[in-house]
Amino acid sequence: MKTAHVKRAFKYRFYPTDAQAAELSRTFGCVRKVYNLALAARTEAWTRQERVNYDQTSAMLTAWKKTEELAYLNEVSSVPLQQALRHLQVAFTNFFGKRAKYPRFKSRKKSRKSAEYTTSAFRFRDGKLTLAKMAEPLDIVWSRPFPEGAAPSTVTVSQDAAGRWYVSMLVEDPTLKPLPAIDTAVGVDVGLNHLLTLSTGEKVSNPRHERKDRARLAKAQRQLARKAKGDGANRRKARQKVAKVYARIADRRRDNLHKLTTRLVRENQTIVIEDLTVRNMVKNGRLARAISDAAWADFRCMLEYKAVWYGREVIAVDRWFPSSKLCSTCGTLRDKMPLSVREWTCDCGTTHDRDVNAAKNILAAGLAVSVCGAGVRPQRRTPGGQSATKQKHLRREP
């Protein structure tokens, strides 16, 4: 497998000066404004059964900058504004291709604060990154090695809800090479009591990150609820405390999933999973919180793009495959298998652990369909040959 052209994002935290923070905050606001203006224009045209493309919105941006009301758009770099229009074009392309819902307007309070710069709007020399409209380079904490001699093609600056600043640089990583092929394969059954159960019999405990910080989160949320509504400083500080608790939970969850997926990809040539519809499963009010904390969708996404990176294969078995009710020894299918049943004995005399048996069946089904090509929900491919999930998460951390 060729990986020379695989692009990978390296994300670092940085600490802006007051002037840089003010400039970036203005840029975030202008990016959001341009995106919303263009979306409104395209939506209005859509009601008239007309389509507006990127070139037309780009011409609109030029006209907006000449008006007195929107003259402040000239104060920031034009590149992030053009990138916002390109992102909107991609959103509409996905909508017309029935891959996504109709684009939504960006909220000042809830939307992600970010701006994307292309090569014409930043300078990267001797390990120092300087953005357009800035005199000084960003104070980046190089927490991981950056590919030597690599030049970023795009730079994305963002600020999360907890107030932390990040810069993500997209580069071609020459160190990404397929791992040596091996003969091992594993079936993976995800769950709530145990995060993962492998066909080898190994069970990976569920860290339950959200539950561990639930008391801290509830306290922060109570303090926020007591603050007066509006944009007051006290309410803003309380909202940031809540965001910091959520960030702590998300950081630990992501770190754990990265370690698990990297280990599975390194130790196995083929990994078989279930094609679960997590979006529908979280509609269950009793289990939604636990399912969201387990982050099964993130686990699958990480597995898939790392498998592409390292020359491995991920097979998704159809979600209706009766992995829990099927005896992995004799193939007998039971009529019912309530969730309360964690261990059962087949008519052939074999006693099964419910999750281990399911993982074994998932592995057998995946290996069978990899040969005959039936029963697996195929991954959507992009024109470049990459899966849609891989393309979407191409910029994720390894």
- Domain ranges in the chain are 6-173, 185-207+248-372
- Here the tokens at position 159 are 């600020």
According to the model, what pLDDT value does residue 337 have? 83
Q: Using only C-alpha atoms, what is the Rg of the chain? A: 24
Using CA atoms, how far apart are residues 295 and 209, in angstroms rounded to an integer? 11
Using CA atoms, how far apart are residues 362 and 324, in angstroms rounded to an integer? 9
160 is catalytic: no
DSSP code per residue over 48-61: TT----HHHHHHHH
* Beta carbons of 134 and 20 less than 8 angstroms apart: yes
pLDDT at 377 over 60: no
327 Cβ neighbours under 8 A, 6+ residues apart: 333, 334, 346, 348, 350, 352, 357
Alpha-carbon torsion 172, 174, 178, 179, what sign?
A: negative
Over residues 205-251, the pLDDT tens digits come to 999 999 999 999 999 999 999 999 888 899 989 999 999 999 999 99
Look up tokens 């891989």; give the residue: 390
- The crossing angle, in degrees rounded to 10, of helices 233-267 and 214-226 is 160
* Beta carbons of 5 and 133 less than 8 angstroms apart: no
Please name the amino acid found at residue 384.
G
Using CA atoms, how far apart are residues 117 and 126, in angstroms rounded to an integer? 19
Over residues 92-136, the pLDDT tens digits come to 999 999 999 999 999 988 888 999 999 999 999 988 999 999 999
Using CA atoms, how far apart are residues 315 and 312, in angstroms rounded to an integer? 10
CATH 3.30.70 given to domain 185-207+248-372: no
DSSP code per residue over 333-351: B-S---TT--EEE-TTS-E
Over residues 315-343, the pLDDT tens digits come to 999 888 888 888 988 888 888 888 888 88
Tell me which of 331 and 306 has the higher pLDDT. 306
SS3 assignment, position 247: helix
Instruction: Strands of the chain (E only): list them.
Output: 7-14, 113-118, 122-125, 128-131, 140-141, 154-159, 165-172, 185-190, 194-198, 203-205, 270-274, 313-317, 343-345, 351-353
Residues recorded for the chain: 398
pTM: 0.82
- Here the tokens at position 300 are 């699958």
Angle at 272 between CA 269 and CA 275, to 5 degrees: 145
pLDDT at 380 over 80: no
Residue from 23, 173, 189, 304 carrying the catalytic annotation: 189
Residue from 23, 173, 274, 298 carrying the catalytic annotation: 274
126 is catalytic: no
